[in-house]
Amino acid sequence: MIVKVQYRNQKKYIKIPEACFDIFITEVKERFSIHVDSILSVEDETGTEVDDYAFPDLLTTSGICFVIKDELNDSGGTDTISVTSKSSSEIDFYSGTLKRFRKEEEALQGPQAKDLIKQVLLTKPGGSDVLKEYEEKGTISPATRKVMVNILVADMVQSEGRIPQRLTKEKYALGIVTLFPSLQDPHGKTGYEHFYDGQKGGGFLAWRLKSVQRATRLPVRSKDSRIEENGGPMLRREIGHCDDHPDEQRFQELISVMNHTNNREVIMKKMRDTLEYRQRLVHDPERSSTVLSVFPRLLDTKGLILQDFSLLFGSETPSKLLEKWPTSFKAKVIQQAEMLTSTPLLKRLLLSAKNQRADKPSLESPEWDSDMASILLLLHLLSPQPAGRKKTQKISVAQAIDHLVVFHKSCRSLDEHLQSHMDTSQPYLLASGTSKEAVGNFFILIDKKLIPCEATTSLAAIDELFKLHFVLGTSYDPALKSMYTFLQTTVYNIDVDTTSESLKVKELRTKFVCNV
């Protein structure tokens, strides 16, 4: 998106990949050559302060120009051009001093930057090959340079997040040409502009960072978006005894042993031992899609999802749905569902949830067993709603149910289901049995792969499906988000204070809490 910005007596259009206030400030400092340590404030053209809370919404205002103020530019007036009380000589002196300071700083940082790059390459997979190629050839190929840039950007993001400081990017670029002198540009002012150009915001490091930011961008949401992204299944959890520099070879050896044995106890132990490595994959945007191929035992060994969830959350949280749903929530869900506008589907689910039969049995089979029916009643209470400013088609509750659980006749091949259903990254339950009331096996289907459930009951299967989101770092299906959020915050009590909830979720919890 393009944003009009004014700094002192200069106006520019600045392009930012998403409606993020921090990215905006970073781009402003780069485009206007403002020192990285400068503290900036943002106003609109009327002099009203703009903060990160209002920034995403103001971006949609037609013709708005954001006015940037800093120590040189803020004297309390509203006229941006006349605000600067410093004389031109004072400004020139400040700029000259700043340039000299930067040159001296870079000279001092050269050896440190070189050591930093070398240390990163020595400790990251593939980095040693970059050093070896340069040692043998005196240079590196474009393909190897791409590998090196990917490694360094990943390290930068790991250290400082997806919006590293400008000084950090310059330090990495300086370290590259100091460690590999033949990569220095003899015609450039700094010699490393092709790796990072702070004036233009370009270079291999900058381009790679922008790709990572696009891949991990957060959608523009409501005013609660800052809270929402701090909790839920995609949040990276702290793991006990986490090593900042894990032994990659050791993990690979453990994975190899696990993938070449049929001993369940060995598989379970090796999966425990590799949890840290697995979570690194899960939360790496470039490698998260490889988790099931790196750990194929998830596809043939029951109980691994439950084990990972327990390792992430301890011994109390995992049992909350199975303990609290039958005793505290189920009856109240039925009670609230009875107040909804009646439909044929709702009637059948209510009868199934209450273990009752219709006076005039229909040709259709009953809607699942009692526990599954009560979960689907919760979905009725928290029915899917269109989200965002764009017009999106609202789906019915019946359609949303197919996003949660699909029945499969046990006499038919599972491959038939895999081939007939569209590929989706959102997990759902596949219930295989002779009827919806008599399901013998549950599977979780994700990316056209089947994960066998250890669960033998429908409630335990829902429990396992919910936990998979946290184990694999998978976002909630939009059609089921309110239902999953209710389970997360109200039943499991996970990230209660840091997860944004819809008004429906809050309202329903208020009705339950009085009696639960």
**DSSP 8-state code for residue 184:** S
State pLDDT tens for residues 401-429: 999 999 988 888 888 777 776 656 789 99
From the CB of residue 506, how many other CB atoms can be counted at a distance below 10 Å? Answer: 13
Rounded distance between C-alpha atoms, residue 145 and residue 438, angstroms: 58
**Quick one: pLDDT at residue 366?**
63
Rounded distance between C-alpha atoms, residue 179 and residue 181, angstroms: 6
- The overall longest dimension of the chain from CA atoms, in Å, is 93
**Quick one: pLDDT at residue 404?**
95
Which of these, 54, 72, 58, 65, lies nearest to 5 by C-alpha position? 65
**Quick one: pLDDT at residue 300?**
93
Q: Which token pair is 191?
A: 């010699």
Rounded distance between C-alpha atoms, residue 440 and residue 456, angstroms: 7
Rounded distance between C-alpha atoms, residue 514 and residue 516, angstroms: 6
Which of these, 369, 393, 487, 51, lies nearest to 226 by C-alpha position? 51
Q: Are 171 and 192 in contact (CB under 8 A)?
A: no
Give every residue of the chain whose pLDDT is below 70, as ranges. 71-108, 187, 216-230, 240-246, 358-366, 385-393, 421-424, 513-516
Instruction: Annotate 210-238 with three-state secondary structure.
Output: HHHHHHCCCCCCCCCHHHHCCCCCCCCCC
Rounded distance between C-alpha atoms, residue 473 and residue 190, angstroms: 41
Q: Are 156 and 27 in contact (CB under 8 A)?
A: no
Using a pLDDT cut of 70, give the percent of the chain over it.
83
Q: Are 309 and 296 in contact (CB under 8 A)?
A: no
Half-sphere exposure of 146 (CA within 13 A, CB side): 4
Q: Are 515 and 332 in contact (CB under 8 A)?
A: yes
State pLDDT tens for residues 102-135: 555 554 477 888 899 999 999 888 899 999 999 9
**Quick one: pLDDT at residue 316?**
93
**Quick one: pLDDT at residue 77?**
41
**Quick one: pLDDT at residue 39?**
80
Which of these, 421, 468, 422, lies nearest to 442 by C-alpha position? 468
Rounded distance between C-alpha atoms, residue 335 and residue 299, angstroms: 38
Please state whether beta strands 65-69 and 2-7 pair in parallel, antiparallel, or not at all (unpaired).
parallel
State pLDDT tens for residues 211-255: 887 776 654 444 333 333 468 999 988 775 555 555 778 889 999
**Quick one: pLDDT at residue 44?**
86
